[in-house]
Copies of this chain bind each other. A is one copy, B any other.
Amino acid sequence: MQRIINDPSMVVEDMLKGFAKVHDDIIHVDKENPRVVISNHAKDKKKVGIVTGGGSGHKPAFIGYCGKNMVDAVAVGEIFSSPTAKSFYDCIKAVDQGMGVACLYGNYAGDNMNVKMAMELAEDDDIEVKTVVANDDVASASKEDIKKRRGVAGEIFMWKVGGAKANMGASLDEVIAAAQKAIDNTRSVGVGLGPCTIPANGKPNFTIKEGTMEFGIGHHGEPGIKVEELASAKDMAKEMTSLVCDDIPFTAGDEVAVLVSGLGATPVMEQYIFYDEVEKELRDRGITVYKSYVGNYFTSLEMNGVTLTVMKLDDELKECIDMEVETMGLTQF
């Protein structure tokens, strides 16, 4: 295991120390609970609080989206494991200012359970909490079972929209409605070309044969739809764009935001090559890219591969997407 770490069981602890040092202008770690990261701007003004959380190993997600006009507090889990209910609860308490808290997170069993428990604790404190559960991963369940789909990189759009809306002074219901619309309008799919290794395990948790790719792979290496021969960037983009666009469907005349993310070990050069093909595919369908993001936005340790996320825009979503943010993972001017 070729890794730059100290103790494999302490990687999250050690990472958080470095993160807090580098980004002390944006965030701080809660004094009582070291698994809670809070934006320095969380209480700049009275507004709905935005909370998320999830397993570690997806950097910049989740703590990299904590900051001005985006997420106010993040509950931090172990590698690929849900944060505790206590951490979600501490996040909620930390950012509530009487207008309620929007908990915007991804559809995983552990997160669902722990958020639910945290909400019960918050209810005892008379804090109103509402949720949006991201389910943008097209490959993780059929359209009939859409509520079973997992949340992946589309969560970034959900946080961006929810955070912007809260910053505009919207009510909890308005924030929830906008974030729900963001995720309802968003579809993602991933392709895996190489596995990753959880440090405490020491061995890859799945394999991908040289010359093949796992189409529809999940963010923790969950099996995809099929294993197929490694395709060119063009063919990969064609297949992924089709799957994503046919699901909503996206149609000619639509304006979209596109996010291409490497999974950790994918050279950024390849991500731009892939994006170029995606944009051509979208253009061929009469779909216009309003805004695009290419880079390591939502990773899976050192997995090799790429994810495609597309969100259909309307005026409200555009206004939210355009709002400036200051976070480690996303900066916009």
Contact = CB atoms under 8 A, between A and B. Distances in A.
A326 B306 CA distance: 25
Interface stretch (A150-158, A165-173, A262-270): A262-270
Contact of A21 (B266, B276, B306): B276
Contacts of A193: 2-4
Contacts of A333: 326, 331, 333
B230 A2 contact: yes
Interface stretch (A96-104, A178-186, A294-302): A294-302
Q: Chain A contact residues (Cβ within 8 angstroms of B): what range?
A: 35 or more
Each complex incorporates copies of this chain amounting to 2
A261 interface: no
A272 B15 contact: yes
A109 to B, nearest CB: 23
Nearest to A258: B22
Contacts of A234: 6
Interface of A: 2-6, 11, 14-19, 21-22, 56-57, 59-60, 191, 193-194, 208, 210, 213, 230, 232-234, 236, 264-277, 279, 289, 292-294, 296, 299, 301-302, 304-306, 326, 331, 333
A2 B210 CA distance: 7
